[in-house]
Amino acid sequence: MEFDFGKFNPKDRYKLLSSTVIPRPIALISTVDTNGVVNAAPFSFFNVFAEDPATCVVGLARHEDGHKRDTARNIEETGEFVINMVDRNLVEAMNVCAVDFEPEVDEFELAGLTPVESRFVVPPRIAESPVSFECKRTVTLQLSVGRDLVVGEILTMHARDGLIDPEKLYLDQEQYDIVGRLYADKYAPLRDIFSLKRWQPNEWFAAHCGKKQDESEQGGE
Ligand SMILES: Cc1cc2nc3c(=O)[nH]c(=O)nc-3n(C[C@H](O)[C@H](O)[C@H](O)COP(=O)(O)O)c2cc1C
């Protein structure tokens, strides 16, 4: 069955996309407005897309009348934001931050979040988050009257003590109780983790065809 996106309205396209591209990581984004009011809101149209430079992208919807929501406006005005990853302990507070409060409302206070001063940017990170990324906006792409895509450079990363081995940079998976967004009000933890070997071309040919790639290409033994 085909779902031709040209024949669907945005609401239905959202249903199709958000229920199939799952699970999506949740960025609880902290920003500060020009009056110093702190804001936090969750975004699951989010991921990282490069490491050189370290780059993240967030998709932000505007209000129905086309004016930007607080996070998008603050990023536009200040160029700075912090992405805080959401784990099981943080989901209730994250959900409070998703409420469409007036701009002057400090979501940190309402959700019981603890702000921690950032090193390179003005918005604070969230102490309760296991991993936070301090970011500067690289560019904002306006996709339509109601949708913006913010591309940002990650300047530094904070991880809860003990979560990442500082020598090997390995993450302790057991301690990382991260939550993904599914669709509507559904969420999922990470579970049933398995490994999948990354093959070198020669190894793959040897394992699957009984000979190495260069041998088979050369017609060797
Ligand atoms: C788990 C979750 C994920 C969300 N993801 C997005 C998203 O990717 N893009 C978006 O525009 N809104 C998203 N929202 C809705 C915003 O969080 C919501 O509109 C919020 O009020 C925006 O806050 P702000 O005005 O402080 O920016 C999401 C909400 C939840 C609960």
In tens, the pLDDT along 191-217 reads 899 999 999 999 999 999 986 565 555
User: Do β-strands 115-116 and 24-25 pair in parallel, antiparallel, or remain unpaired?
Assistant: unpaired
Residue among 29, 62, 67, 69 whose CB has most ligand 1 atoms within 8 A, to mutate: 69
Shortest-distance atom of ligand 1 to CA 74: 27
Of 124, 156, 150, which Cα lies nearest the Cα of 137?
Answer: 150
In this prediction the pTM is: 0.93
Q: How far apart are the C-alpha atoms of 196 and 113, rounded to whole Å?
A: 38
Please name the residue whose Cα sits nearest to atom 5 of ligand 1. 43
Please name the residue whose Cα sits nearest to atom 16 of ligand 1. 98
Question: Helix, strand, or coil here: 92?
Answer: helix
Please name the residue whose Cα sits nearest to atom 22 of ligand 1. 41
Please name the residue whose Cα sits nearest to atom 13 of ligand 1. 43
Please name the residue whose Cα sits nearest to atom 23 of ligand 1. 41
Distance 42 CA to ligand 1 centre (A): 5
Question: Helix, strand, or coil here: 189?
Answer: strand
Shortest-distance atom of ligand 1 to CA 42: 17
Shortest-distance atom of ligand 1 to CA 147: 11
Q: 51: pLDDT confidence band, cut at 50, 70 and 90? A: very high
Q: Contact at 8 Å (CB) between 170 and 164?
A: yes
Q: What is the pLDDT of residues 116-166, one digit of tens each?
A: 999 999 999 999 999 999 999 999 999 999 999 999 999 999 999 999 999
Instruction: Name the phi and psi angles at 160, rounded to 5.
Output: -55, 140
